[in-house]
Structure 1
Amino acid sequence: MISLQNVSKSFGSGPSAVIALDRVDLEVADGEIFGVVGQSGAGKSTLIRSVNLLERPDSGTITVNERELTSLSDAELRVERRRIGMIFQHFNLLSSRTVRGNVELALEVTGAERRERRRRADEILDLVGLTAKAGVYPTQLSGGQKQRVGIARALAANPRVLLSDEATSALDPETTRSILELVRTINRELGLTVLLITHEMDVVKTVCDSAALLEAGRIVEQGPLVSLISTAGSRLARDLFPLGPVPRHAGSTVIEITFSGGSADRPVIAQLSRNHGLDVSILGAVIETIGGNQAGRTRLQIPGSAAGARAAIDDLRSQGLLVEVVGEGNR
């Protein structure tokens, strides 16, 4: 549905040029919610603005809805952009228009008739839960309500793709959760493909099917969350389940076990202690719901000899668990 191939973008020229995107390859499947996560300055906003060519890349190709946008004329690009909705961080609502008027604005540029604009605006406002606010002005709305208007406006022209540029970063946690629930509902009910950028791992955990980590303009890791969780050394998986610095314990081995799917419900630690006669200590644990399934990471301290620790680790791995040794004390 969305494909970026070898996309690069820089600002300025010569030695002072800033490379925002560096040979980015990104694949977003039809109907999924895909999150791009990274710190400020990583190139996230440039990336998402490149998808609909608000920022035209210096090189590479961008394909959306099976059309290679980078090869289109200006007139053809305008038509294709109508099939790509976009939600902005700061709402960008017109204070002189009512809620309904702001949603209708997206249809005015397409040439839709007044009656059709009104019908579609009311339909979308019902979807986002703002029917009762159709006649009020943006100054009378909360931040969450303003973002719902922004979402309604982005959906007005029946897009197949929805882009979200840090849409929840200015909202409080409770409002953020409600907006993410709305995004998931829209994804399911309308079959939209959603690409969102964020610096918050909680957003990825809550709503995304797949994710990519962007650093200094480059994609360093990407894939479905269920696959990343089970990938040894995955930085995204580690960020999804943060356990803090690894403590050093003399005479013991520190391991981390990643649980996903059905393994999250099994008494793995109790069995390990019983079967190997070990006084296992839990140093930390994080359990989350990812993609509708329980998943998480647990850090354990295994006392005793290196041989005993290896036997315990081999036992865990034989059960299909991802086990990583993160610390070995002096013995």
Structure 2
Amino acid sequence: MISVQHVSKTFRSGGTVTAALQDVSLEVAEGEIFGVIGQSGAGKSTLIRAVNLLERPDSGTVTVDGDELTALAPAELRRARRKIGMVFQHFNLLAGRTVRGNVELGLEIIGVDGEQRRRRALEILDLVGLDDKAGAYPAELSGGQKQRVGIARALAGNPKVLLSDEATSALDPETTRSILDLVKKINTDLGLTVLLITHEMDVVKRICDSAALIEGGRIVEQGRIVSLISTAGSRLAHELFPLGDAPSLPGDTVIDITFSGGSADRPVIAQLARTYGLDVSILGAAIETIGGNQAGRTRLALPGSPAGNARPIEDLRSQGMLVEIVGE
């Protein structure tokens, strides 16, 4: 649904040139929620604004639903953008318009008649749980309600893609969870493809099917969450299940076991201790529900060297778990 290929973007201010994006490529499958995570200044906002050409790349191509946006003339680009809705961090609502008026704005711009606009706005407001606020003004709403209006406005034109630019970063944790649950519901009910950027790993854990890590304007890792969990050395997987630095324990082998799906329900550590007569020490654990399945990482200390623990480590791997030796 979204294909970004070899996109670069620089900004010039005075004599300073800043590379915001450097040869960025990613693909978002139809119907999935794809999260781009990174710290401030990593290039996240520039990337998402490049997807609808609010920021035109210096090089590379952007294709959405088969339309290569970077190759379109202005009039064609305006039409293609109707497939793309966008939700902003700071809501960007018009204070002088009611909730319904804000939702109708995009439809008004493209020439939809008044009665059709009204019906569509009320339909979408019902979807986001604000049908009783149609006549209210933004100043009368909470932050979460304002963001729901922003989402409704983005959906009014029946887009195929929803872009979310740090849509929850200005909200408290409880409101953030409710907005993320709404985005997931919209994704499921409408089959909408969602590309979101965030600096919060909890957002990725809660609703994303795939994710990419961006640093210094470059994508350093990307993939399906379920695949990343079982990829040795994955930085995203380690961020999903943080255990801190591995301790150095002379005479012991320290391993991290990453598990998901069915392996999460088995008494793996107890079986390991019984089968091999090991005094296993649990040094840490992090468990999450991702994509509806339990997954996590456990850090263990096994007495003896890695060579001496080769059989139990191989046993764990044969059960479908990722095992990494992180200290000895």
TM-score (norm 2): 0.98
Instruction: Give 1:208 shift.
Output: 0.3
Return the alpha-carbon distance in structure 1 between the equivalents of residues 71 and 306 of structure 2. Answer: 60
Partner of 1:326: 326
Return the alpha-carbon distance in structure 1 between the equivalents of residues 197 and 316 of structure 2. Answer: 36
Partner of 1:41: 41
Instruction: Give 1:303 shift.
Output: 1.4
Partner of 2:27: 27
Instruction: Kindly report which structure 2 residues correspond to 1:174-323, keeping only aligned pairs within 5 A, or say none.
Output: 174-323=174-323
Unaligned runs of 5+ in 2: none
What letter is aligned with 2:300?
A: L
Between the two proteins, what is the percent identity of the paired residues?
A: 76
For the residue of structure 1 that corresponds to 2:242, the secondary structure is coil
Partner of 1:91: 91
What letter is aligned with 2:287?
A: I
Q: Does 1:80 align with 2:80?
A: yes
Instruction: Give 1:305 shift.
Output: 4.2
What letter is aligned with 1:104?
A: E
Deviation sequence 1:125-166 (CA, Å, 0-9, x none): 000000111111111111000000000000000000000000
What letter is aligned with 1:253?
A: T
For the residue of structure 2 that corresponds to 1:57, the secondary structure is coil
Instruction: Give 1:16 shift.
Output: 2.5
Partner of 1:140: 140
Instruction: Give 1:13 shift.
Output: 7.5
Partner of 1:171: 171
Q: Does 1:121 align with 2:135?
A: no
Return the alpha-carbon distance in structure 2 between the equivalents of residues 110 and 192 of structure 1. Answer: 21
For the residue of structure 1 that corresponds to 2:186, the secondary structure is helix
Return the alpha-carbon distance in structure 1 between the equivalents of residues 259 and 106 of structure 2. Answer: 45
Instruction: Give 1:12 shift.
Output: 1.1
Partner of 1:56: 56
Return the alpha-carbon distance in structure 2 between the equivalents of residues 325 and 305 of structure 1. Answer: 11
Return the alpha-carbon distance in structure 2 between the equivalents of residues 102 and 320 of structure 1. Answer: 51
Instruction: Give 1:320 shift.
Output: 1.8
Cα separation, partners in 2 of 1:13 and 1:23, compared to 1, 3 Å:
farther
What letter is aligned with 2:84?
A: I
Partner of 1:18: 18
Return the alpha-carbon distance in structure 1 between the equivalents of residues 176 and 305 of structure 2. Answer: 48
What letter is aligned with 1:149?
A: V
For the residue of structure 2 that corresponds to 1:89, the secondary structure is coil
Q: Does 1:106 align with 2:140?
A: no
The answer to which of 292-301 and 311-320 deviates more is 311-320
For the residue of structure 2 that corresponds to 1:17, the secondary structure is strand
Return the alpha-carbon distance in structure 2 between the equivalents of residues 153 and 287 of structure 1. Answer: 36
Contact 2:263-2:319 within 8 A present in 1 as well: no
Instruction: Give 1:14 shift.
Output: 9.6
For the residue of structure 1 that corresponds to 2:308, the secondary structure is helix
Return the alpha-carbon distance in structure 1 between the equivalents of residues 61 and 82 of structure 2. Answer: 19
For the residue of structure 2 that corresponds to 1:294, the secondary structure is strand
Return the alpha-carbon distance in structure 1 between the equivalents of residues 101 and 71 of structure 2. Answer: 34
Partner of 1:4: 4
Instruction: Give 1:308 shift.
Output: 3.1
Deviation sequence 1:151-205 (CA, Å, 0-9, x none): 0000000000000000000101110000000000000111110000000000000
Return the alpha-carbon distance in structure 2 between the equivalents of residues 307 and 48 of structure 1. Answer: 47
Unaligned runs of 5+ in 1: none
Return the alpha-carbon distance in structure 1 between the equivalents of residues 130 and 171 of structure 2. Answer: 18
Instruction: Give 1:311 shift.
Output: 2.0
TM-score (norm 1): 0.97
